[in-house]
Structure 1
Amino acid sequence: MSQTPRKTVQDFDPAVMRLFDQYVHGLIDRRGFLKGAAAYSVGASGAAGLLAALAPDFAAAQVVKPDDGRLHARFVQFPSPQGYGTGRGYLVEPRDAGEALPQVLVVHENRGLNPHIEDIARRLALEGFRAFAPDALFPLGGYPGDEDSARALFGKLDQALTREDMVAAANWLDAREGGNGKLGVIGFCYGGAISNFLATRLPDLDAAVPFYGSGAPLDDVPRIKASLLVVLAADDERVNAGWPAYQAALDQAGVDYRLIQPPGTQHGFNNDTTPRYDEAAAKLAWGEAVAFLKSTLAA
């Protein structure tokens, strides 16, 4: 029995994708999405079917299994005195690396530490990094197991405390034995914004790779010492609206940065669990990101 091919972004009306982006980022609720999407489907059941088709499929997209014998992966806690007090994250490194490792903080989207981001951490570990992915939702019980619940829970976070948790996670990682003294961060959507933010808060950060994330506050840009690889989608009105001002601030501050913006892409194009995934663009951007981290984090 053949498996039904998963839909791609080309299978959906662009207006539906814009509605989905608003829904994912909390600008409209589930009812708002279904009401708007009903115009592009057959009734309410058709709109619900559209939402189901856009939901992530973690199992199908998994690249590295959690029990991969090449890796040492575990969940650990870290202190965060200025944040919620204690954080938790997923730490992955090559097994028996035999040398000091460059270290990369991996920051999730606005749904917490879901299986996709855990897989991203494992992918990075196989590239020779020690990867640590903190879960912003840990103070509220952690990732709840489904995206809708996670999104709702995320809205209850005190973001000032959460940002301090991310700073604490980066500092905790940087202080671990076995590192080569180099630290990077990579993040997606919300995590992209956090990557930009961390670049303004961590003077010892060497590299940041924000994927389609909002820029840091413009007044804070002169504090950035890290090199940046900025990844944006081509069709992402919400995030891209802030790029010209952020780019001008980076230029004025003399920050070392490079932009990658593959044509024809939508917000979230690197996430291979959803139909927004663009295989060619993701392969390009991910390859550039790994190469950038390897070059900037080399001892």
Structure 2
Amino acid sequence: MTYIPKKEEVKQEVFDLYDDYAHQRLSRKEFMQRLSLFAVGSLTVPALMSFLMPNYRDNVQVEEGDPRIAESFVTYPSPKGAGEMKGLLCYPHNNTEALGAVVVVHENRGLNPHIADVARRAALAGFLVLAPDALSPLGGYPGNDDEGREMQSKRGREEMLEDFIAAATFLGEHPMSNGKVGVVGFCFGGWIANMIAARLPQLVAAVLFYGGQAPVADVPNIKAKLQLHFAELDTRVNEGWPAYEEALQQNGKQFSVFFYPKANHGFHNDSTPRYDKEAATLAWTRTINFFKETLL
């Protein structure tokens, strides 16, 4: 049986390597080669790989089929994007009221089980939720993240952005929606959330987890209230924040920002070892409270 190390046994450089691999700055071969430099004793390359790869099966907070939630896959039009898209629609079971609506935007690998879980969590909190799959035009999430990343890299970012803007429009017009729409995105999805805020004036609220910033020139167009979550150790994403913060301030935008000490990029994703339970719980509580304040 492969030994799986504890988080405190693994050096920060290994997490940084994984970040480069997850964002396709390293090929799998390069990743494995560099990872071997940290393989000492029981920390073999297979052990480190077992530690780093996502474990969806054992880390679901709200199971598929939870009786408290109604969920189904739906299609919606994306005339400026892929034409037609597919996503997971969730809402509280037996709901009869108009609900605040939330688009959940995945990372750079499609609608994987973790993001579907996040969508169900948001529905359980009382929202109408749509989690689109950017891989819909290519057949949908393939069942593993490596293939998902490769598939998503074949799509243009601007076209995918249009697909998620269309999702927000679709959700705002849904019969169960109260017309107030927010978006929450993670990594690639954080960039998407920033961009929807800059492109869609009717968006009410956007929550961004360690996402790239919109161009400073687009900041004057933002009407939504923003909530931004950053990991202290995520230097790659964080380096763009000071200029973005200055632009938000100069243009009088409403935003709140939180940095989480000793947390890595991806700290909210509880299927990987970058997960930081304390930071993730606090950030998600802030997210839900923010949506309750803005969308209900």
What is the letter of the counterpart of residue 90 of structure 2? V
SS at match of 1:77: strand
* CA–CA distance in structure 2, aligned partners of residues 152 and 50 of structure 1: 22
1:12-42 Cα offsets, whole Å, 9 max, x none, are: 1111111100000011111111111111004
Structure 2 vs 1, CA of residues 7 and 274 (structure 1 numbering), >3 Å: closer, same or farther? farther
What is the letter of the counterpart of residue 153 of structure 2? G
Deviation at 1:150, TM superposition (A): 0.6
Find the counterpart in structure 1 of residue 226 from structure 2.
Answer: 228
What is the letter of the counterpart of residue 37 of structure 1? L
What is the letter of the counterpart of residue 107 of structure 2? E
* CA–CA distance in structure 2, aligned partners of residues 8 and 131 of structure 1: 35
2:119 is matched with which residue: 111, 121, 146?
Answer: 121
* CA–CA distance in structure 2, aligned partners of residues 212 and 226 of structure 1: 18
Normalised by the size of structure 1, how large is the TM-score? 0.95
What is the letter of the counterpart of residue 211 of structure 2? G
Deviation above 3 Å: which 4+ runs of structure 1?
4-9
RMSD: 1.7
SS at match of 1:232: strand
* CA–CA distance in structure 1, aligned partners of residues 49 and 236 of structure 2: 20
* CA–CA distance in structure 1, aligned partners of residues 100 and 85 of structure 2: 22
Find the counterpart in structure 2 of residue 152 from structure 1.
Answer: 150
What is the letter of the counterpart of residue 73 of structure 2? F
SS at match of 2:231: coil
Find the counterpart in structure 1 of residue 172 from structure 2.
Answer: 174
Matches within 5 A, 1:252-271: 252-271=250-269
1:69 is matched with which residue: 67, 70, 79?
Answer: 67
For the 8 Å contact 1:8–1:276, the answer to whether it is kept is no
What is the letter of the counterpart of residue 238 of structure 1? R
* CA–CA distance in structure 1, aligned partners of residues 59 and 19 of structure 2: 20
Normalised by the size of structure 2, how large is the TM-score? 0.96
Find the counterpart in structure 2 of residue 203 from structure 1.
Answer: 201
* CA–CA distance in structure 1, aligned partners of residues 6 and 243 of structure 2: 32
* CA–CA distance in structure 2, aligned partners of residues 135 and 270 of structure 1: 19
1:141-196 Cα offsets, whole Å, 9 max, x none, are: 11000111111111111222111111111111111112112110001011011000
What is the letter of the counterpart of residue 45 of structure 2? A
Report how many aligned residue pairs link the two structures.
295
SS at match of 1:183: strand
What is the letter of the counterpart of residue 66 of structure 1? E
Find the counterpart in structure 1 of residue 135 from structure 2.
Answer: 137
Find the counterpart in structure 1 of residue 23 from structure 2.
Answer: 25
Find the counterpart in structure 2 of residue 192 from structure 1.
Answer: 190
What is the letter of the counterpart of residue 124 of structure 1? A
Q: Is 1:248 matched with 2:255?
A: no
What is the letter of the counterpart of residue 60 of structure 2? Q
For the 8 Å contact 1:8–1:277, the answer to whether it is kept is no
SS at match of 1:61: coil
What percentage of aligned pairs have identical amino acids? 47
* CA–CA distance in structure 2, aligned partners of residues 47 and 241 of structure 1: 31
What is the letter of the counterpart of residue 228 of structure 2? V
Deviation at 1:62, TM superposition (A): 0.4
SS at match of 2:256: strand
- Structure 2 gap segments, 5+ residues each: none
Find the counterpart in structure 2 of residue 276 from structure 1.
Answer: 274
Matches within 5 A, 1:56-135: 56-135=54-133
* CA–CA distance in structure 1, aligned partners of residues 245 and 292 of structure 2: 24
1:244-298 Cα offsets, whole Å, 9 max, x none, are: 1111111111110001111111000011001000111111111111101111112
* CA–CA distance in structure 1, aligned partners of residues 4 and 196 of structure 2: 36
1:37-69 Cα offsets, whole Å, 9 max, x none, are: 1110049x9224312211111111101111111
What is the letter of the counterpart of residue 139 of structure 1? P
SS at match of 2:57: helix
